[in-house]
Amino acid sequence: MTYKNFTVETDADSIALVTWNMPDKSLNVFTEEVMIELDKIVDQVTGDDGIRGAVFTSGKDGSFSGGADITLLKQMFDTIQEAKASGDKEAGTQKLFDRAGAMSQIFRKLETCGKPWVSAINGVCMGGALELSLACHGRVAADSPKVKLALPEVKIGIFPGAGGTQRVPRLVNAQDALQMMTTGQNLKPSRAKAMGLLHQVVPAEELISAAKQMIIDGLKPVQPWDEKGFKLPGGKVYTPAGAQLWPAASAILRRETNMNYPGAQAILKCVYEGLLVPFDLALKIEQRYFTQILQTTEAGMMIRSLFVSMQELNKGARRPNDVPETKFKKIGILGAGFMGAGIAYVTAKAGIPVVLLDRNTEAAEKGKAHSEDLMTKAMQKGRATQEQKDQLLSLITPTADYADFDGCDLVVEAVFEDSSVKKAATESAEEVIKSTAIFASNTSTIPITDLAKNSKRAKNFIGIHFFSPVDKMMLVEIIMGKKTGDKALAVAVDFVRAIKKTPIVVNDTRGFYVNRCVLKYMSEAYNMLAEGVPPAMIENAAKMAGMPIGPLALNDETAIDLSQKILNQTVKDLGENAVDPRHIELVNTMVDTHGRHGRKNGKGFYDYPEKPAKKHLWPELKTLYPQQNADDIDFEELKQRFLVVIALEAARVMGEGIVTDPREADVGSILAFGFAPYTGGTLSYIDGMGVDNFVAASKKLQKKYGAQFKVPKLLNDMAKNGETFYSRFDPYADKSDQAA
């Protein structure tokens, strides 16, 4: 029997080698077709007396499988929409329930077929692929840094729904199982084996032979939980150990998620309830919760933004199609400070030669030393080898001579944020680089159109805004000037993709997109301070709303004296009415009166004592304004204020045409400053609430707190017309094929 996505070869020992190798994809993923073929293969192995067992592996180098394909999840959400449209909720839910259990049923069929299966894991093994492996009776992984095992579904709003929540806690203790699934953490082979998820870790070249040997040695075709007398690794739920685990697990989940993620809550419920009943009933419990979670707003929005949209943007969704792809031979980085050095590091890490230029060789060498330091730390954590370090450093050439930029496909300027300094740097670089090369400025405040005036070829001038620290932040804003051409955009997108970052494309404006939203977040904290809201309540409200860091702590990271400069420059450019005078008074008091500049000088809204002591809010902060009684403050309203004020700014940006694709607004807001991921991003937050409900909430807040909550015309129009951002600004409107 032949298959499109698999090959089945039986050897002299009567062992079938099932190799998954999808011909039209770089990564194996579960699709409807794959599941149908896998089901048939299980039947083939089971029904062939000439096969004693099977080894399942991947034909992709360094990759086993990434889990479910976009199309598979899309089909489930289409089922939800069809049910809503039909009005028959019960029938729709039943259809979704059946579809949600399809993969789990195949895996259960495999593990109860009466013949032993061994999963030979040669690379990345995520989600459904790991759940398939857990259904196999034996599991062997290659001893390779390419092998990573994880059940990361919680990160996109759902949970392991193909048996993962039941097999993992029957193989490892419940505490480790919960930790693994509620965080979606990656496991190295050694860690997975120590936990009990793998039977063996062997050299890569011995992977298949070791897997086959397990069958030859008499591997039982029965899972531990299907044998009489099976005992849970961590003991039963109703034991003294269980009495300690489950209340603590619930408390930790509440602390870490503030109960904003239904998928994470469902994991605890699935594991707890599933461990009380026989395995097949436990799978039904999991299927029921999976069906329920798929219908939540959080799951729909998170899957769209963090799975579908993220993949589309990473594949270059906003890249002009008619420009040939650039294969970079050499990149120039102009400025070897912290940002420039970081850009040089990620470029060299992608295997691209880098020329790192600064005012003198010593400064340039110091910039290269940043890469050496990062690689040394990676080696200490076992994430890099000396060979990899040497290779990366060999790609970075420090220099003080602009002539070394000759032959660069792209030059990224990352000098001091000063127009005159950038002007001189641009002119010097353009004297050397070829006429077809692209020049990009890494700026966070100066409009690209203004900077492009320094260039002799504005069509090849573009903004590439990195976030700090460059090696950790996954988002890059690409800013289009008024004269920026398609080639410059295509090259910029190609570069961002080459260094494995996510690009979003925005049009030129003060603060671009991300900084406009971030400034609103911090400004609302200023408002609350001035109102007398206790500082701790401000920080806690933001974090409980889903933000990763409170606005005051974030302001300390970005520097309060920088906020002071931005406010003063805004007044200078736009007039006094453009800034709330209370904000200027606050930052002046912090910086000029108390010398509190932020984390960089060890004192800001927080104090930063010597380690091991932890940072804490500056005690005197609450004395700057008369304090309200905390019991009289509506805490839920504080949480809402933060999310609404940011989302309103995102809506304004869309209305002004600065961002034109809602996917970029959503993904950008999550990756850049962690906007409550469970909402799916700034615009999905509005869509998920319902535009009319959001408008009503905003108007209520405006009446109570001020103009920052004024609803833009765009939102009023959308509310009247019953539109959402993804219908009004449909990113697929001009595309015939909407599938990934």
For 331-508, the fitting CATH number among 3.40.50.720, 3.40.50.300, 1.10.1060.10, 3.40.470.10 is 3.40.50.720
Give the H/E segment covering residue 338.
Answer: helix 338-349
C-beta separation of 405 from 429 below 8 A: yes
pLDDT tens digits, 722-734? 999 999 999 988 6
Q: Cβ neighbours of residue 406 under 8 Å, at least 6 residues apart? A: 432, 433, 434
> Does the predicted TM-score (pTM) go above 0.75?
yes
Residue 738 has pLDDT above 50, yes or no: no
In angstroms, the Cα distances linking 142 to 63, 171, 304, 516 are 11, 20, 33, 47
Largest Cα–Cα separation, the chain: 85
- Confidence at residue 580, expressed as pLDDT on a 0 to 100 scale: 92
**595-611 average pLDDT score:** 93
Give the H/E segment covering residue 124.
Answer: strand 124-126
Contacts by 468-473 with C-beta closer than 8 Å and gap 24+?
Answer: 468/338, 468/339, 468/342, 469/338, 469/342, 470/339, 470/342, 470/343, 470/345, 470/346, 471/342, 471/345, 471/346, 471/374, 473/501, 473/671, 473/672
- Confidence at residue 465, expressed as pLDDT on a 0 to 100 scale: 94
Concatenating the DSSP letter of every residue in 498-509 gives: HTT-EEEEEE--
**16-25 average pLDDT score:** 94
| Residue 124 to residue 6: CA distance in whole angstroms | 18
| Lowest-pLDDT choice from 34-38, 558-562, 668-672 | 558-562
> CATH fold of 515-728, please?
N-(1-d-carboxylethyl)-l-norvaline Dehydrogenase; domain 2 (1.10.1040)
**Structure tokens given for 666:** 């959503």
- Confidence at residue 736, expressed as pLDDT on a 0 to 100 scale: 42
Fill in the DSSP letter of residue 615: P
Fill in the DSSP letter of residue 627: P
Helix (H, G, I), strand (E, B) or coil at 405: helix
Please, what is the average pLDDT of the chain?
94
Helix (H, G, I), strand (E, B) or coil at 200: strand
Helices (H) and strands (E) in the chain, counts: 31, 19
Torsion of CA 109, 110, 114, 117, to 10 degrees: -170
pLDDT tens digits, 215-224? 999 999 999 9
H-only helix segments in 201-307: 207-216, 240-257, 262-274, 279-294, 297-303
| Residue 122 to residue 202: CA distance in whole angstroms | 10
The pairing of strands 149-150 and 124-126 is parallel
Residues of the chain above pLDDT 90, percent: 86
Helix (H, G, I), strand (E, B) or coil at 688: helix
- Beta-sheet strand order (sheet of 15-20): 6-10, 15-20, 53-58, 117-121, 138-142, 200-202
**50-58 average pLDDT score:** 97
Active site residues: 465
Q: 79: phi > 0 → left, psi -120 to 50 → alpha, else beta; which? A: alpha
Identify which of 660, 667, 70, 67 has the alpha carbon closest to the alpha carbon of residue 313. Answer: 667
Domain boundaries, the chain: 6-295, 331-508, 515-728
- Confidence at residue 102, expressed as pLDDT on a 0 to 100 scale: 93
Torsion of CA 220, 223, 225, 228, to 10 degrees: -30
Residue 698 has pLDDT above 80, yes or no: yes
Note the CATH number of domain 6-295: 3.90.226.10
Q: Cβ neighbours of residue 256 under 8 Å, at least 6 residues apart? A: 182
Concatenating the DSSP letter of every residue in 553-570 gives: HHHHHH-HHHHHHHHHHH
Q: Cβ neighbours of residue 289 under 8 Å, at least 6 residues apart? A: 159, 161, 266, 269, 270
Residue 737 has pLDDT above 60, yes or no: no
**67-91 average pLDDT score:** 79
When pLDDT is cut at 50, 70 and 90, the band that residue 374 belongs to is very high
**157-179 average pLDDT score:** 96
| Residue 62 to residue 454: CA distance in whole angstroms | 46
When pLDDT is cut at 50, 70 and 90, the band that residue 417 belongs to is confident
**493-513 average pLDDT score:** 93
In angstroms, the Cα distances linking 680 to 267, 673, 675, 686, 719 are 20, 13, 9, 10, 20
Fill in the DSSP letter of residue 657: T
